[in-house]
Chain A
Amino acid sequence: MKRLKVAAVLAAIFLSAVSAALASVAPSAITQPAVHRVFSGPRGLFPAPVRRPVPWIEGVTPPLEDRLFGATYRVLPNHNVLKVYVFNAGGYESAGIRFSARVPHTARDLTETELDREAVQLIRTTFAQFPDVQTVDIWATIPVAQSQATTKESTVFSVSADRATYVALRAGRDLSDDQFLDAFGRVWVSPEVPQ
């Protein structure tokens, strides 16, 4: 009986420690609801600033990034845009789009043709809908297995496009995706490249 009591006390202590530890874990930025939280400060209660969770933007020029994400996310059939970056510096805008080379919810990677198609769509959409964007870097990544990870993902495809080349290419509309990307110096990086 005495042993049971001791065990019960120890179990209670253990459970209280676990629950306290779990309570101290903050919810991630993605799942955190956009609500006003109230903090107690030295002058009483005041509302904390609202932080809207937008994991797809980097936060340099958020309104532009939001727009670019909205525009590019829709044009890809797999909706696999992962993150967009836009920086506006006095009329000169630079953009970056990272998309997944792995088809979402599957273990299949995009084929080279599919990657080409998606990259061309992203370049055309960005330059057509954002007249101030002068350069756009587009790159595709695949996740890296945790066991061999030095980074979270590995780049398998990249292209760095500038508006001047895009305008020059726009005249020749019958270019294939391959030719279009080659004009920008498209890069194909094999995921098997030794780390």
Chain B
Amino acid sequence: MLHLFAMLAAVLMTTPMLPRTHTVTPLPRFLTPPVSREILDPEDGSLTYGPYGQVWRVPMQRREIALTFDDGPYPFYTPLLLHVLERSGVPATFFIVGRSAQEFPALVRRIVVGGNELGDHTFNHYTLTGLSDYQIAYQIAAGGAFLQQFTGQPVTLFRPPHGRYNQHVVAIAHTLGFKTIFWSDSPDDVKNISPDIVVSRVLYYARPGAIVLMHSGQYKTIEALPEIIYRLRAAGYSFVTVSQLLRDGNYDQPAQWPIKP
């Protein structure tokens, strides 16, 4: 066993050390400058809007909440999800992967016909932080352009895959005319958890103007959804799409909110 440790030590000693700090590449000049500084909720100081128009939550008094579903469309899962949403009369926002939409366009049409909203989740669902600026722009633009054929109008909402972003990603999305939508309420439903935990986590983080992140291809989410809708409605919440939430929260006039010093 000793010789194994010796070999391991030899390998480690000969491997060059990785740099402890990484350099931040400067942003290209052609990108549109930020629209504001970070904007915080006056009540609890939580982050709501970002400098490039990113949205985590829409600060508002009205009890409105937006359900969003990432990835897909997935055969079998998406019809089920749409069935639950239609039966409950709840609109949602689907952040769709362009490649999946190309494979299953019938499901995207069904999403749109059901009164839901489409958002861009890039064309290939690559982690954008590892790509060049050109590749980031291509992924965002190609995904949005492909979805436009289903909506008949430009798709303006964008969410980065895996929620991974840096200044380049949000700046490029902003330059391309997209609003980057994050979330303030996530049950982390991609993990191996029960539908009960999905319900309890969504309810725990629910608040007026919240954006809930869930995923299309998860049974537990579909199973949890009726309970989530029932409980939130009982608490006085109404469900809207992200665009509606932004309109109701006067997203276009963020100056009324205090700016982070």
**Chain A at the B interface: SS class:** strand
Whether a CB of chain A sits under 8 angstroms from the CB of B110 is: yes
Whether a CB of chain A sits under 8 angstroms from the CB of B17 is: no
Whether a CB of chain A sits under 8 angstroms from the CB of B204 is: no
Digitize A59-92: 1 where CB-to-B-CB distance is under 8 Å, 0 elsewhere.
0100000000000000000000000010101001
CA distance A158 to B75 in the complex (A): 9
Q: Which residues of B contact A13 (CB under 8 A)?
A: 1, 3
CA distance A150 to B122 in the complex (A): 15
Whether a CB of chain A sits under 8 angstroms from the CB of B219 is: yes
Digitize B200-244: 1 where CB-to-A-CB distance is under 8 Å, 0 elsewhere.
000000000000000000010010000000000000000000000
Select one of A10, A60, A89, A193 contacting B102, CB under 8 A.
A193
Task: Kindly name the residue among B4, B106, B222 whose own CB sees the greatest number of chain A CB atoms within 10 A.
Answer: B106
Task: Kindly name the residue among B4, B76, B83, B110 whose own CB sees the greatest number of chain A CB atoms within 10 A.
Answer: B76
Known contacts A13-B1, A96-B75; A89 and B83 CB within 8 A of each other:
yes
Closest residue to A156 on the B side, CB-wise? B103
CA distance A193 to B71 in the complex (A): 19
Shortest distance between the CB of B238 and any CB in chain A (Å): 24
CA distance A17 to B83 in the complex (A): 54
Shortest distance between the CB of B113 and any CB in chain A (Å): 12
A92 touches B103 (CB 8 A): no
CA distance A60 to B221 in the complex (A): 13
B106 touches A185 (CB 8 A): yes
**Chain B at the A interface: SS class:** helix
Count how many chain B residues have C-beta atoms less than 8 Å from C-beta atoms of the other chain: 22
Known contacts A10-B3, A13-B3, A87-B219; A158 and B104 CB within 8 A of each other:
yes
B79 touches A160 (CB 8 A): yes
B103 touches A189 (CB 8 A): yes
Closest residue to B79 on the A side, CB-wise? A135
CA distance A98 to B219 in the complex (A): 18
Known contacts A10-B3, A139-B104; A87 and B75 CB within 8 A of each other:
no
Task: Kindly name the residue among B75, B79, B102, B106 whose own CB sees the greatest number of chain A CB atoms within 10 A.
Answer: B75
Count how many chain A residues have C-beta atoms less than 8 Å from C-beta atoms of the other chain: 28
Whether a CB of chain A sits under 8 angstroms from the CB of B90 is: no
Whether a CB of chain A sits under 8 angstroms from the CB of B109 is: yes
A17 touches B104 (CB 8 A): no
Whether a CB of chain A sits under 8 angstroms from the CB of B181 is: no
Closest residue to A139 on the B side, CB-wise? B75
CA distance A175 to B75 in the complex (A): 25
Closest residue to B75 on the A side, CB-wise? A137
Whether a CB of chain A sits under 8 angstroms from the CB of B32 is: no
Digitize B67-103: 1 where CB-to-A-CB distance is under 8 Å, 0 elsewhere.
0000000011101100110000000000000010011
Q: Which residues of A contact B109 (CB under 8 A)?
A: 185
B83 touches A94 (CB 8 A): yes
A87 touches B124 (CB 8 A): no
Residues of A within 8 A of B (CB): 10, 13, 17, 60, 85, 87, 89, 92, 94-96, 98, 134-135, 137-139, 150, 155, 158-160, 184-185, 187, 189, 193, 195
Besides the known contacts A95-B76, A160-B79, 6 further A-B residue pairs in the complex with CB atoms under 8 A apart = A13-B1, A89-B84, A98-B75, A135-B79, A160-B107, A187-B106
21 CB-based A-B contacts, threshold 8 Å: A10-B3, A17-B1, A87-B219, A92-B83, A94-B79, A94-B83, A95-B76, A98-B75, A135-B79, A137-B75, A137-B107, A139-B75, A139-B104, A159-B106, A160-B104, A184-B106, A185-B106, A187-B103, A187-B104, A187-B105, A195-B124
Residues of B within 8 A of A (CB): 1, 3-4, 75-77, 79-80, 83-84, 99, 102-107, 109-110, 124, 219, 222
Closest 5 interchain pairs by CB?
A96-B76, A137-B75, A160-B106, A155-B103, A135-B79
